[in-house]
Amino acid sequence: MAEATIAISKQDDFAEAYLLRAAILAKMGQYAEAETDADKVLTIMSDNDEALTIKAQCCIATGRADEAEQTYRQIIGINPFHADAYISLGQLLMQQGRTEEATRLAEEALQNVPEQMEGISGNFSNKE
């Protein structure tokens, strides 16, 4: 993480360094800081699905399910082949009891990324 911070101090618009640091911070449970770095990436590259994924994960971790849902839907809108976004959004919908929506999403995912969605029913299980 130190290298990313040094790179950022030398070049404020170094999206890859912010992205790396955001990923590390999120894994460390420092969600506010991770989201700040992910947002910085998004000001440089508004359609960066990796930064959006980190942002959505931070939203989930901090109890902001509605914002996480919007972010996962944004990822799918940018990249309809992003299997992890389908899986994460499907799990979120199932946790909220929105089974019909999750089923429609699974069908959409199977159309867009069939090879990556094998075993999808296990990934959309209702985890409580």
Local structure of residue 4 (DSSP, 8 states) = H
Give me 120's structure tokens. Answer: 């999808």
Q: How confident is the model at residue 127 (pLDDT cuts 50, 70, 90)?
A: very low
Q: Is the pLDDT of residue 9 over 90?
A: no
Amino acid (one-letter) located at 52? L
Per-residue pLDDT at 113: 84
- pLDDT tens, residue by residue, 61-98: 999 999 999 999 999 999 999 999 999 999 999 999 99
Q: Is the pLDDT of residue 105 over 50?
A: yes
Percent above pLDDT 70 for the chain: 80
Percent above pLDDT 90 for the chain: 70
Q: Is the pLDDT of residue 128 over 50?
A: no
Question: CA-to-CA distance for 7 and 50, rounded, in angstroms?
Answer: 19
Question: CA-to-CA distance for 36 and 51, rounded, in angstroms?
Answer: 10
Mean pLDDT of 44-73: 97
The answer to whether the beta carbons of residues 49 and 75 sit under 8 Å apart is yes
Mean pLDDT of 15-30: 95
Question: CA-to-CA distance for 19 and 54, rounded, in angstroms?
Answer: 9
In the chain, the domains with their CATH numbers are 1-66 (1.25.40.10), 80-128 (no CATH)
Per-residue pLDDT at 115: 76
- pLDDT tens, residue by residue, 114-126: 777 665 545 554 4
The answer to whether the beta carbons of residues 75 and 109 sit under 8 Å apart is no
